Amino acid sequence: MKKAFFSFLSLWILPGLTAGLVFLAIVLLAGALSTNMWAMPDGIARTVGMATPANYGFAPIPVLIGVVVHLALSVVLGVIFTALVRWLRLHGWVLVAAAGVFITIETPIALWGVMHTLLPATTFSYFLAAIPLWGSVAGHYMYALVLGMLLMLNPSMAVWKPQRAGMRLTAGE
């Protein structure tokens, strides 16, 4: 039971969570260099309807909510990508490249297709202004790289490697 739970956790939850932590570290650094270290969690908290301090000031509850929402979304995206990778039976560096393609498609859909459409203009502007574009791009692509690498190196993914044509066994062998 413990082995099955750890296997589930290491395949479905930990890659997205770990990649999300790397993303978070990058955007906190980008915020510290441009607006405020807590700008991104504040921006996320405001998008979910919380009142946040002016100029991205530190307030423990909005920052905590922003971090939790960010990590939860990171896990959800990781699960979606893992399911896609398993369905397509990707492995090796193709899997890592697919993570880059995935984040390239997901980010504009999330930002412009969902958030821009659903959020009031002031909230969306507050979110976008939290960190500079370079911080967002670096964070997203590091998320993709870490997610892809963790899945590529995960032993549970080895069962999905394609077999060579001459190596297949039939039912009678």
The model's pLDDT over 20-77, given as tens digits with 9 standing for 90+, comes to 999 999 999 999 999 999 999 999 999 999 999 988 989 999 999 999 999 999 999 9
Asked whether the predicted pLDDT for residue 158 surpasses 60, the reply is yes
Query: What is residue 161's predicted lDDT score, i.e. its pLDDT?
Result: 52
- Cα 104 from Cα 98, distance rounded (Å): 10
Domain tally for the chain? 1
pLDDT on residue 2: 86
Residue 171: is its pLDDT beyond 70?
no
CA distances from 49 to 45, 119, 120, 146 (A): 7, 10, 11, 30
The mean of the pLDDT values for the chain is 92
Q: Is 89 left (phi over 0), alpha (psi -120 to 50) or beta?
A: left
Whether residue 109 lies inside any domain: the answer is yes
For the cut 50, the answer to whether the pLDDT of residue 143 exceeds it is yes
Q: Is position 173 within any domain?
A: no
Helix (H, G, I), strand (E, B) or coil at 94: helix
* Residue 25 placed within a domain: yes
pTM to 2 decimal places: 0.90
Percent of the chain with pLDDT over 70: 91
What pLDDT was estimated at residue 169?
47
Confidence of residue 165 (pLDDT cuts 50, 70, 90): low
On whether residue 114 sits in a domain, the answer given is yes
Torsion of CA 102, 118, 31, 28, to 10 degrees: -60
What is the model's pLDDT at position 166?
A: 52
pLDDT, residue 160, reads 53
In this structure, which long-range contacts are made by residues 82-89, counting pairs with CB atoms below 8 Å and at least 24 apart in sequence?
A: 82/11, 82/12, 82/15, 82/16, 82/151, 85/151, 85/157, 85/160, 86/157, 86/160, 89/160, 89/161, 89/162
Q: For residue 32, tell me if it sits in a domain.
A: yes
**Is residue 55 in some structural domain?**
yes
Domain that holds residue 153: 2-160
Residue 79 lies in a domain: yes
171 assigned to some structural domain: no
